[in-house]
Structure 1
Amino acid sequence: MQRIEIGDFEVYLLEDATFRLDGGAMFGVVPRVVWERKAPPDELNRISLIIRPMLVRAGERWVLVETGMDDKPGEKHRQIYGIDRAGRLLEQLAELGLQASDIDLVVNTHLHFDHCGLNTYSQSGKIVPLFTNASYVVQKQELNDALNAHERNRASYLPENIEPVLEAGLFETVEGEVELVPGFKLLPLPGHTLGQQGVVLESEGQKLVYTADLLPTLNHAPLAYIMAYDLYPVTTLTTRKRYYPEWREEGALIATPHDPEHALGRLGENEKGYFAEPLNLPR
């Protein structure tokens, strides 16, 4: 994990499971001859990715952004996605002296299995919420879409990650832009899903943006590098055009959920368009 300070916020960029997804799907209309230079595929055309949850100390509260991936779906699922070390999130919390019960808020940017796998766990054969002292904050649109999945998105929304939290009354739904605590803002970032949200931290003149899958890795910074997994790719493009200029102008730190090499970067722009410059932080 890596620790930084954004003004009054303590931020821990964690590392959960590593996994693999099809490179062509990850880069959409971008030809393989272009994207493979930065993300070499394996023999199954899959590229290496990681799960990077973000833990924030906000005053006396611990806020966990994303809950990573787990082993509930079984061995076939693990092999398809090349998942390794699912659930490492809990080990990293333990390194900080924390247990699941110490988390006060969980932010689900969206409810795909690679972002909310540890919303729940198996206890004596029953799937139950893991963070029992926390509210799980999600956009109302996202929860509605997850509960009414269709053929195009059903494989990404696993009921076992969602329904036990709903039944326990732990979901807190929000609509639009919301400030959870001073300087900690939830920002709708539609495109990958309509209800996707990111996190913006601002304190003492510093700014960090956790992009969710608007920008899955730093290699996806160019405007046209949009995943085939995005349900609304033109909306993704519109969202990027709306926020990129602001984030670049302010020099905001950019934290992506799946970059396997770099936890943070900054947006830049040249004659070819936008790009992301990685930041190498000491561990």
Structure 2
Amino acid sequence: MERLERNGMSITWLNGGVTHMDGGAMFGVVPKPLWSKTYPHNEKNQIELRTDPFLIEKDGYRILVESGIGRGRLSEKQKRNFGVTEESEIEKDLEALYLSRKDIDFVLMTHMHFDHATGLVMKEDGKDVPVFDNAIIVTSEVEWNEMRQPNIRSRNTYWEQNWKAIESKVQTFQGEIEIIPGIRLIHTGGHSEGHSILQIEHEGETFLHLADIMPTVAHSNVLWVLAYDDYPITSIEQKGRWQNIAKEKEAYFLFYHDYKYRAVKWNKNGEIIDSLIRKEKKG
């Protein structure tokens, strides 16, 4: 497990599973000769997309960001269609940290698409129950409303099995919400109407998780947005805005989907000056 440590705070990446999605869809109108130079693909034109939540430990709180794809929640057909080669090992990773799923205080959901939200629910005695028994699940009000009442397009990714069992645990917000001092979810729209980003401020440092308006390091070009985005112009505007803020604050970007990078800091010339790289699983 990769970990960023600061005085009074740590961020640890857990294994939430992995998908392989169509590269053309993930880079929208960007031609393959361009995007393929920045991100590897397989013979099916799919790119590896991790679904790895990260655990923030700060001020006595344990805060999970995103939830992975879960274990045993996808059918064989879904696993094949979404290129799933690993399912979640979050519970095992928590045990390695001497924690359990009951120790999580908050789960912060930037949005509720299946590749972020399927890890929120599990089967117990044949019944769907919350994975994180004691956690408050936080997402934007707009996102939560669409999750429960998806439109003809979004119903392919907002699934009842991912919200019904957690309904009583969800706390929604409008605009932005401070979870604990220094940790905020901020509604941006773009990838979905209710999409949010995460901002962490800690002892003079800033960490940003732009979620799916910048899902990988290869998407750092402000114009490179997903064909999956419901509002691509909003994605471009919000990505540009937060990249400018990041330059001013010399912020780190945190990633949930990137196959290689966990965290990256760019300088004002767009050069990577610091990074945390995912260790390849052995065996």
CA RMSD of aligned residues (A): 1.7
CA offset at residue 140 of structure 1? Answer: 0.5
Deviations 1:145-170 (Å, cap 9, x if unpaired)?
1111112111111111111111xx11
Q: Name 1:23's counterpart in structure 2.
A: 23
Q: Name 1:50's counterpart in structure 2.
A: 50
**Structure-1 separation of matches of 2:164 and 2:207:** 31
CA offset at residue 241 of structure 1? Answer: 2.1
The change in CA–CA distance for 1:185 and 1:85 in structure 2 (over 3 A counts) is same
Is the CA contact 1:6–1:207 (under 8 Å) kept in the aligned structure 2?
A: no
Is the CA contact 1:219–1:276 (under 8 Å) kept in the aligned structure 2?
A: no
**Structure-1 separation of matches of 2:188 and 2:205:** 21
Q: Name 1:87's counterpart in structure 2.
A: 88
The worse-fitting range, judged by mean Cα deviation, of 134-143 and 149-158 is 149-158
Q: Name 1:105's counterpart in structure 2.
A: 106
Is the CA contact 2:14–2:90 (under 8 Å) kept in the aligned structure 1?
A: yes
Is the CA contact 2:108–2:137 (under 8 Å) kept in the aligned structure 1?
A: yes
The change in CA–CA distance for 1:178 and 1:207 in structure 2 (over 3 A counts) is same
Q: Percent identity?
A: 31
* Count of aligned pairs: 278
The residue identity in structure 1 corresponding to 2:275 is L
The residue identity in structure 2 corresponding to 1:44 is K
Is the CA contact 1:211–1:257 (under 8 Å) kept in the aligned structure 2?
A: no
Q: Name 1:204's counterpart in structure 2.
A: 203
The residue identity in structure 2 corresponding to 1:114 is D
**Structure-1 separation of matches of 2:248 and 2:59:** 28
CA offset at residue 228 of structure 1? Answer: 0.3
**Structure-1 separation of matches of 2:127 and 2:17:** 23
**Structure-2 separation of matches of 1:74 and 1:276:** 39
Question: What SS is found at the alignment partner of 1:52?
Answer: coil
The residue identity in structure 2 corresponding to 1:173 is T
Is the CA contact 1:7–1:202 (under 8 Å) kept in the aligned structure 2?
A: no
Question: What SS is found at the alignment partner of 1:154?
Answer: helix
TM-score (norm 2): 0.93
Q: Name 2:215's counterpart in structure 1.
A: 216
**Structure-2 separation of matches of 1:18 and 1:73:** 12
TM-score (norm 1): 0.93
Written as runs of structure 1 = structure 2, the 5 A alignment for 1:56-75 is 56-70=56-70, 71-75=72-76
CA offset at residue 216 of structure 1? Answer: 0.4
CA offset at residue 7 of structure 1? Answer: 4.4
The change in CA–CA distance for 1:247 and 1:151 in structure 2 (over 3 A counts) is same
Is the CA contact 2:136–2:169 (under 8 Å) kept in the aligned structure 1?
A: yes
CA offset at residue 188 of structure 1? Answer: 1.7
Structure 1: which 5+ residue stretches go unaligned? none
CA offset at residue 57 of structure 1? Answer: 0.9
Deviations 1:166-210 (Å, cap 9, x if unpaired)?
1xx111111111111111111223200111112111111111111
The change in CA–CA distance for 1:185 and 1:28 in structure 2 (over 3 A counts) is same
CA offset at residue 27 of structure 1? Answer: 0.3
CA offset at residue 5 of structure 1? Answer: 2.4
CA offset at residue 38 of structure 1? Answer: 2.0
The residue identity in structure 2 corresponding to 1:229 is Y
Is the CA contact 2:260–2:278 (under 8 Å) kept in the aligned structure 1?
A: no
Q: Name 1:40's counterpart in structure 2.
A: 40
Structure 2: which 5+ residue stretches go unaligned? none
Question: What SS is found at the alignment partner of 1:131?
Answer: coil
Question: What SS is found at the alignment partner of 1:64?
Answer: strand
Structure 1 segments, 4+ long, off by >4 Å, are 274-278
Q: Name 1:3's counterpart in structure 2.
A: 3
Q: Name 1:131's counterpart in structure 2.
A: 132
Is the CA contact 1:244–1:267 (under 8 Å) kept in the aligned structure 2?
A: no
Is the CA contact 1:262–1:278 (under 8 Å) kept in the aligned structure 2?
A: no
Question: What SS is found at the alignment partner of 1:69?
Answer: coil
Q: Name 1:180's counterpart in structure 2.
A: 179
Q: Name 2:154's counterpart in structure 1.
A: 153
Q: Name 2:275's counterpart in structure 1.
A: 279
**Structure-2 separation of matches of 1:111 and 1:277:** 32
Question: What SS is found at the alignment partner of 2:145?
Answer: helix
